[in-house]
Amino acid sequence: MLFVPVTGLWMSALGVVGLALNLRAYDFVSQEIRAAEDPEFETFYTNYMSHDEGYLRFFAYMSLFNTSMLGLVTSSNLIQIYIFGN
């Protein structure tokens, strides 16, 4: 039962394309690794980027990147992989 995917439909567009989330055990592992690394990276980047004028923009891009990587891991079809991968 460890690797049984749990898929939940999130949104459907006219019954043609459905956006769903796949939640598998190894997805949770990769999400936990990513979540454990983020505070370490953000602490380093805070000190490194403190004098830069693009400080807030950098962290906005980092948040967008983290969101897209988590979306890529939990995507259930090729359309979602394309959206979150680009």
Tell me the per-residue pLDDT of 5-56, one tens digit each, with 9 for 90 and over.
Answer: 566 655 566 665 666 666 666 667 777 777 787 788 888 888 888 888 888 8
Domain that holds residue 11: 6-85
* Domain tally, the chain: 1
Structural domain includes residue 1: no
Residue with tokens 């949104």: 11
Residue 39 lies in a domain: yes
**pTM of the full predicted structure?**
0.61
- Domain assignment present for residue 65? The answer is yes
Q: At what angle do helices 55-73 and 78-85 cross, to 10 degrees?
A: 160
The pLDDT tens digits for 49-80 are: 888 888 889 889 988 888 888 888 777 778 77
